[in-house]
Amino acid sequence: MIFKEDLRKRRALTDRIALGFNPVLSVRDAVRFGTKAESLGYESIWFHESLYQRDVFTYLSSVLLSTTRIRVGSGVINTFTRHPLTAAATFASLSEVSGGRAIMGLGLGSFPTIPNIGFKIFPVSETHPLRRIREYVAISRSFWAGERLDYRGEFYTAEKMQSDIKLAHRVPIYIASLSGLTQRYAGSEADGAILSPSIATTETTATMVGHVRTGEDRARRKVDKASYLLTSVDEDGARARDAVRNFYFFLYQLGEVIRPEALEPYGVTLAQVEKFRAAWKRGDAEAPGLVPDAAIDALSVAGTPREARSKIQGYRSAGVDLPILMPIGNVNYAIEKLAPG
């Protein structure tokens, strides 16, 4: 009997899996996916923030109030548009109403959109993104602890204020960043690290995990290592890959962000990437058709259910504790087929 209980616990740890969504869902659909995820055994569900689409806190509160067990996280809120006191008070309220199931996912902010509302992100030697995140975390945690705030930082000030909210549960903070420096900070100070916005090879993921582990080793602690994974699953593997091939965010990442040399170990040649990028920059309708299957396989979880489970295991082997699946295409099929257990 003890053996069976230990085995059950080990399976629960290795089967940890979550869902993540962009803010394009209706709030009703977000609630529907949240309740479905809970019924299927997903451990958490995460929602991206947008400056001009649906509000992330409406997602979080609606799903938390419609469920009883699943954890719900922001994936992530930015450090520009809300003062940390405001965000901390919101998460304290969400924690209170949900019995401690709310997670603060925190990041610098969206590179394409934050500058469009007047905030400068680059060069980081001038904008000090890690310092901004450090101040955000410090103020939030002081607020949750009920401490009298007397904080004056480079970016935020919080003086002569003290919360009267008595939190029964600790609000975990997960830090999202592609910076090795910030990933090391997450390993040393946060409760978790979010490694990828959804598109990364297992090799790149392992490198990011290494940064987090460096921070863990310095602080002699362990944190949860989560990573978004763009996911498309269908009984027809080719149809699943085509959903990725025609997904704008994937095309943008391959066309402008992903380093071509990062794909060479996966059988994608520089010539293939350059041919696609030339068509992408011209705006050719044929550009998606130039994306090789090998690039899709290297950067996403796409294929049949069996192929997808194997790819998820590859990310686990790279050091990911919590895969956060971002389903596109045949969404309900993917959620059902990749559910834990």
Kindly state the average pLDDT of the residues 330-334: 98
109: pLDDT confidence band, cut at 50, 70 and 90?
Answer: confident
Q: Where are the domains of the chain?
A: 2-233+303-337
Whether the CB-CB separation of 178 and 205 falls below 8 Å is answered with no
State residue 14's pLDDT score: 59
- With a cut of 70, say whether residue 127 has pLDDT above it: yes
- With a cut of 90, say whether residue 108 has pLDDT above it: no
Whether the CB-CB separation of 318 and 206 falls below 8 Å is answered with yes
Whether the CB-CB separation of 43 and 74 falls below 8 Å is answered with no
State residue 297's pLDDT score: 98
State residue 15's pLDDT score: 83
State residue 4's pLDDT score: 47
Q: Exposed (0-12), middle (13-18) or buried (19+): which is 89, by Cβ within 10 Å?
A: middle
Length of the chain: 341
State residue 316's pLDDT score: 98
What digits encode the pLDDT tens for the residues 50-106? 999 999 999 999 999 999 999 999 999 999 999 999 999 999 999 999 999 999 999
CATH architecture of the domain with residue range 2-233+303-337: Alpha-Beta Barrel (3.20)
Query: Coil, helix or strand for 21?
Result: strand
State residue 2's pLDDT score: 42
CA distance 31 to 59: 8
CA distance 313 to 335: 16
Cβ neighbours of residue 209 under 8 Å, at least 6 residues apart?
Answer: 195, 225, 318, 319, 320
What digits encode the pLDDT tens for the residues 268-314? 999 999 999 999 999 999 999 999 999 999 999 999 999 999 999 99
Residue-averaged pLDDT of the chain: 94
